[in-house]
Amino acid sequence: MAVTPTFDRTDLRLLALLQREGRASNAELAAQVNLSPSACLRRVQRLESTGVVAGYAARLDPQVLGLGLQAFVRVQLEKHGAPGIERFVAAVQEWDEVVACHALTGDMDYLLQVYVRDLEHFSRFLLDRLLNASGVADVNSSFVLRTVKGFAGLPLPG
């Protein structure tokens, strides 16, 4: 069982800032958490080295990229043996349209988050890729009408 690291208030403030403003300079971060730049840098480096900060990335706007349709697709596999699961998981890794895939409890086995250009693109993805993936027994799709709250960072303790 993994040991959960402890964070003081300054660590938590830094983590919140990094989630919102990952491109902020060390000097900007230091000023916002009332630390010297060197002390701030040491804390950020510690948070990175312990794996709490797993990386940095740009958030892209799917609309600007022409990805106007988002769907959540629930997938049920025919068989739940290791070979079938491995085949499905390997296939999902190759599909650029799938931006997230989660194994689930309940009546469906996986939840895919999919971004495509339009309904025609989704239809091709569904028919040519997902349903052709050996071992898929059933799919159920829901299209996003609007996003009420997007991912804005993880909830922090405290």
Query: Confidence band (pLDDT; 50, 70, 90) for 72?
Result: very high
Domain boundaries, the chain: 10-49, 69-143
- Model confidence at 128: pLDDT above 70: yes
Decide the pairing of beta strands 69-77 and 110-116. antiparallel
pLDDT value for 3? 66
Mean pLDDT of the chain: 94
Classified by CATH at the fold level, domain 69-143 comes out as Alpha-Beta Plaits (3.30.70)
Q: Which two tokens stand for residue 68?
A: 């106007």
Dihedral sign for Cα 125, 131, 137, 138, please. positive
- pLDDT score for 1: 60
Architecture of domain 10-49: Orthogonal Bundle (1.10)
Average pLDDT over residues 37-49: 96
Q: pTM (2 decimals)?
A: 0.88
Report residue 2's pLDDT band, with 50, 70 and 90 as the boundaries.
low
